[in-house]
Chains A and B, each alone.
Chain A
Amino acid sequence: MAAMNSPTALQRFHAYANPARFMALSSRLVAPLWILSVLVLGAGLWFALFDSPPDYQQGETVRIMYVHVPSAWLSMFGYGVMAFASAVGLVFRHPLSDVCAKSAAPIGASFTFLALLTGSLWGQPMWGTWWEWDARMTSVLILFFLYLGYIALWATIEEPVRAARAAAVLALVGAINIPIIRYSVVWWNTLHQPASVFRMDGPSIAPAMLLPLGLMGVGFTLLFITLLLVRMRAEVMRRRVRNLRLATAGAAAEG
């Protein structure tokens, strides 16, 4: 952010934020990104499923980790992207950052849902329960709610600029609130039941597991970026459609 305060950086930022330039640039990036994502994910999957050892405690279920952890990572990364884009949108008033924030939300929400779901499928064989109101799971669930609220707000307000401002405020308040929620939940949970029932931090990761986990993490992130670009392109087109329609109605009124 600090670098953007210098005039040249700001100009460059605005140049890239120009929708026409964005469309031109992103159209060249999308196809290679798809290929790269699929390749990395394919390699990751191979190691995750076939070429990594079972855990000595958790057995084969540890393979769930290779989709669970990257999903959980993206759930936070997605919110980070959304909050950062919202802040940029509020400060610089550039519509492309609103587009970015709006497009990141459904992707982040999907991966948050996936993190919850795969966590549940991991929890049942390991802890004997599909769901436990432990601090970490509860705060991820609340993060999911924040995503849903953000998406609902966008869907409710018709006019894009007004919707973008309101949604940006919500995303930023949420960003400040997440650590507070997290700590309150930890405090709440330890108050009611000892934290010793189970913990997410199992044995430290063996190097043989680090490779598939890293590959999957990179693959998921690449996929996130690709999806973000595609959704942003769709959003830019949606706004073009909106303006064309406004122009059609306006021209009809003149003629």
Chain B
Amino acid sequence: MMRAFLALLARDLRLAVRLGGGGGMAVFFFLIVISLLPLGIGPDRALLAKVAPGMLWVALLLAALLTLDRLFQADYEDGSLDLLTMGPLPLELVVVAKAVGHWLTTGLPLVVAAPLLGVLLNLPGEAYPPMMAAMLIGTPALSFLGAIGAALTVGIRRGGLLASLLVLPFYIPVLIFGVGAADAAAGGFSGEAGRQSLLLLGAVALASLVLGPLGGAAALRANLR
């Protein structure tokens, strides 16, 4: 079973690397959205620093949403998904493998790109460590919760947009606690509020690790059969 899990994960990573698109495209989108912000609200450094944590998180959520439709859609269209359900691996673990692959190829590159973009928004130096910690904790939740939305809309034409609408409400706790962690540091008040946000974010992430595979597998079963 472990071998089947690793085989699927390795295949997804290999496909992501070969096709290029995926994670690179998400990082590119992230970069573009962040660069549009100063063009929209003006190059006022103090103002940018104030909105930086929130905007980084919002842009990161949007970039992650953009890639959700790749999670199951391609495998559905070429018939691979049928095979994935016929293997020895429980469907829940298939969803875990897909979500882990999605995080490694999308979530992780976005987190790596975030500090560079923080520079563009004049994010204060002390906000970087908590923001990075929050993003590292929060992005797996984006992949696992996103898997539910992607599974719900698999097989629907232009399902990507619908998946975004379905998933966004689930992303709200991640956004609130994630921004909370960075804002607390940027605002200069004690580490207490930031630590609390990080803990809550961790709880959300852990819950999504359970909820995502269960919900995703249930949605796939409902959609496929």
Contacts and interface: CB of A to CB of B under 8 A. Distances in A.
A–B in direct contact per CB < 8 Å: yes
Interface of A: 120, 129-134, 138, 141-142, 145, 148-149, 152, 155-156, 188-189, 192-193
| Interface size band for B | 10 to 19
B44 A192 contact: yes
Contacts of B112: none
Interface stretch (B23-31, B150-158, B183-191): B23-31
A133 B43 contact: yes
21 contacts: A120-B119, A130-B119, A131-B119, A131-B122, A133-B39, A134-B43, A138-B35, A141-B35, A142-B35, A145-B28, A145-B31, A145-B35, A149-B28, A152-B20, A152-B24, A152-B25, A155-B19, A155-B20, A156-B20, A156-B21, A188-B39
Contact of A152 (B28, B39, B119, B120): B28
B105 to A, nearest CB: 14
Interface of B: 19-21, 24-25, 28, 31-32, 35, 38-39, 42-45, 48, 119-120, 122
Contacts of A152: 20-21, 24-25, 28
Nearest to A124: B119
Interface of A is mostly: helix
Contacts of A189: 43
Nearest to A148: B28
List 10 A-B pairs, minimum CB-CB distance, nearest first.
Answer: A133-B43, A155-B20, A192-B42, A133-B38, A130-B119, A131-B120, A131-B119, A148-B28, A192-B43, A141-B35
Given A141-B35, A156-B20, 11 more contacts: A129-B122, A130-B119, A130-B122, A131-B122, A132-B43, A145-B32, A145-B35, A148-B28, A192-B43, A193-B42, A193-B43
